[in-house]
Amino acid sequence: MAEQDVQADRVENMMPAALAPLPPELMTGHPQLDAEHHLLMTCIANLRRVCVNHAGSLHCGHCDGLRRQHCDSHLVGMLGDLLAFILEHFRTEEEIMRSSLLLMVDRAVCEAHMEDHAAISGKVQEIVAALDPMNTVSLIRELDALLTRWMGNHIALHDMLLARWVLREDSVLRRNTLSSS
């Protein structure tokens, strides 16, 4: 099974019938990166659906115990899959950096990109470690805000540059992709 198929299967339980749209400003032009970003946007959209009132509730005290348990277990499963998908996505980007030779040409740019990966991974892991059935709704809001802000900033700062590097006219990866088509 192809790596992208494995990633899609991993997030299948988090996905509604339709994928969340990827705003045009987040389109890199790199098919694999755009497809994975599309899945991440869908995961964020699904995160918002865990709680019936994630935007208006301060805590989970207004919900009965069964509802809190449902939200908590749904969030735990979703976070595990989301974190695994994010880490796999980062490996994909870092492999593209190596195989496109960007890492050799501009190590500082790649190191900054990888440091951003480590920072977001660490923050998501902190949120996962802070899971509490009475505060599921606040964790959902925190994670939603973090991922939404990060997606926009990370793609604009790092992924656009990586995609431009790979898609440039003299790219070895681009020539290999075109010749195998």
Rounded Cα distance between 66 and 12, Å, is 25
pLDDT tens track of the chain, all 181 residues? 455 554 444 444 444 446 667 788 889 999 999 999 999 888 888 888 887 666 666 777 777 788 878 887 888 888 888 888 999 999 999 999 999 999 899 999 999 999 999 999 998 888 888 877 777 778 888 888 888 898 889 999 999 999 999 988 766 666 555 455 5
C-alpha span between 161 and 155 (Å, rounded):
9
Instruction: Report if pTM > 0.85.
Output: no
Topology of 3-10+34-49+63-170 in CATH? Four Helix Bundle (Hemerythrin (Met), subunit A) (1.20.120)
- How many CB atoms are located within 10 Å of the residue 12 CB? 10
Cα separation, 140 vs 49, whole angstroms: 9
| Those residues with Cβ within 8 angstroms of residue 134's Cβ, 6 or more apart along the chain or in another chain | 59, 60, 61, 68
Angstrom distance (rounded) from CA 116 to CA 157? 10
